[in-house]
Amino acid sequence: MASDRTASETTEFDVHTDEMLINMGPQHPSTHGVLRLALRTDGEVVTEVTSHIGYLHRCAEKIGENLTPRQFLPYTDRLDYLAGMNMNLGWALCVEKLLGRQVSEKTRHLRVIVCELSRIASHLVAAGCYGLDLGSFTPFMWTFREREKILNLFEEVCGARLTYSYITVGGVTADVPSGWLGRCEEFLDQFEPVIADLHALLTSNAIFIHRTAALGVMEPAMAIDYGCTGPVLRGSGVDWDLRRDGEPILTGMYEGYTWQVIAATNGQYPQDHPYPPVPSAAVLGDSWHRYFVRMLEVVQSVSLVRQAIEKYSRAGGVVDPPIALKQKLPKGEAYLETEAPKGQMGFMIISDGSPVPWRVRIRSSSFCNLSVLPELCRGVLVADVPSIVGSLDLVLGEIDR
């Protein structure tokens, strides 16, 4: 078991061999994309990890300097391509902050519906792929089966299954088709029992616990120092979520909703949930906790979608259309971070008064979450590196931009 590994008890840690440099990636399945890790190893023990990124670099920021905000929107889909809706939202809210615009009630609730569905889809991929990294195939199939249903719902609202460009500057591209909300609720009804199945497969699975508990432990201070955010930060027990603690333009979107930020305080998770208890081997801030926080957040998102459907149905009026394609921007600068599934996604727009921004900046959450990897991987076994990388839930499209 991970927590029992001490230098004196484990042969791997006792035997010293010649130092070896091992290349992991960029085509390694458990690096979740084109990430290359250079591992300096002593036998089975990793002494140093160096990350090499940039294989997907497209200089999205330079592209943003040459397009109007609405033209740039499809490029935001391709940052964190597992949660395109949340990327659209981050960019749309940032430009709206510069424009000083507020969307209608109906638009606000519609945005909550699609963003939280997108969060569920992203966390499902995170959990499923994490199981796959550790040799468990079934959860991967089950989570992708559920995610497929969310993608079907998204396809109905905007025609795309991955790169939506649905939430756009000023509003959304179109209202939902008739009967869509009902199908959305049907999905939630059948999905809720499945969450318990996933917990049964992974959360309390002895092998899974052995591969994740007490591994890659991150102290809260270290997480904050490296700028780690999202489930990676909350897995260390820091009670922080921008949907509650962020800027008014984002928290206003979630005003009137009842939900909880998932973070363990004193080793206890706040809500009463029917899911497996924290195993005794797990240590706050380890890979297991990062995974568990995501699984509990899925339940919160389901509740948020239900509330949003109800609020959307009651809200009068119509959804807001997008701004003009080449609308002039006011001179100024706006920076905004939103709570994306993988962490705090920041966008910045600097405008000189013309329709095309002078500068666009993208602060990637996975970029910061990855930067802490050398600290987490010091002195672990080679086989544990994929387990730690998987627990960070990285998307390289967002890291490389």
Partner 1 sequence: MNAQSIHARLADRFGPSLAAQDVEALDPWIEVKAEGLLDVCRYLRQEPDLAFDMLHCITGVDYFEADPKKAAVDPHLELIYHLSSMRHRHRLVLKVRVPRWREDKPGQLPEVPSLSGIWSTADWHEREVFDLSGVCFVGHRELRRILCPEDWVGHPLRKDYQMPAEYHGIPAR
- Which residues 337-366 are close enough to bind partner 1 by CB under 8 A? 337, 344, 346, 348, 350, 352, 358-359, 361, 363
Residue 240: CB minimum distance to partner 1, A:
6
334 binds partner 1 (CB under 8 A): yes
Here the tokens at position 206 are 């002895």
Rounded Cα distance, 351 and 327, in Å = 12
Shortest CB 195 distance to partner 1, Å: 30
* Shortest Å, Cβ 271 to partner 1: 22
- One DSSP character per residue, 226-257 reads TT--THHHHTTT----HHHHS-HHHHGGGTT-
Write out the binding residues for partner 1, residues 58-97 only, by CB under 8 A.
59, 61-62, 97
CA distance 246 to 227: 15
In the shown chain, the binding pattern of residues 232 to 271 toward partner 1, with x for contact by CB under 8 A and - for none, equals ------x-x----x--------------------------
Stretch of residues binding partner 1 (CB under 8 A), selected from 32-40, 130-138, 219-227, 388-396 = 219-227
Torsions phi, psi of 173, nearest 5? -70, -35
Q: In this structure, are residues 57 and 35 in contact, taking their beta carbons and an 8 Å threshold?
A: no
Packed helices 180-198 and 105-133: angle between N→C axes, nearest 10 degrees: 30
Residues 96-115, mask of contacts with partner 1 (x by CB under 8 A): -xx-----------------
Bridge partners (DSSP) listed for residue 349 = 334, 360
Among 224, 278, 315, 382, binds partner 1 (CB under 8 A): 224
The distance from CA 5 to its chain's CA centroid, rounded to whole angstroms, is 31
Question: x/- site string to partner 1, residues 291 to 330, per CB under 8 A?
Answer: ----------------------------------------
Q: Which of 332, 365, 372 lies closest to 347 in space, CA to CA?
A: 365
Among positions 28, 303, 335, 379, the unique one binding partner 1 when judged by CB under 8 A: 335
10 Å CB burial of residue 181 (0-12, 13-18, 19+) is middle
For position 119 contacting partner 1 by CB under 8 A, the verdict is no
Residue 350 in contact with residue 358, Cβ under 8 Å? Answer: yes
47 is a site residue for partner 1 (CB under 8 A): no
- Give the C-alpha separation, 341 to 331, whole Å: 31
Name residue, tokens 């990327």: 87
Cβ atoms of 372 and 226 within 8 Å: the answer is: yes
Asked if 400 touches partner 1 (CB under 8 A), the answer is yes
- Residue showing tokens 């195993």: 279
- The nearer residue to partner 1, 121 or 368, going by C-beta atoms, is 368
- In the complex, the smallest distance separating the C-beta of residue 381 from partner 1, rounded to whole angstroms, is 25
Binding site for partner 1 (CB under 8 A): 53-54, 57, 59, 61-62, 97-98, 222, 224-227, 238, 240, 245, 332-335, 337, 344, 346, 348, 350, 352, 358-359, 361, 363, 367-368, 371-372, 400-401
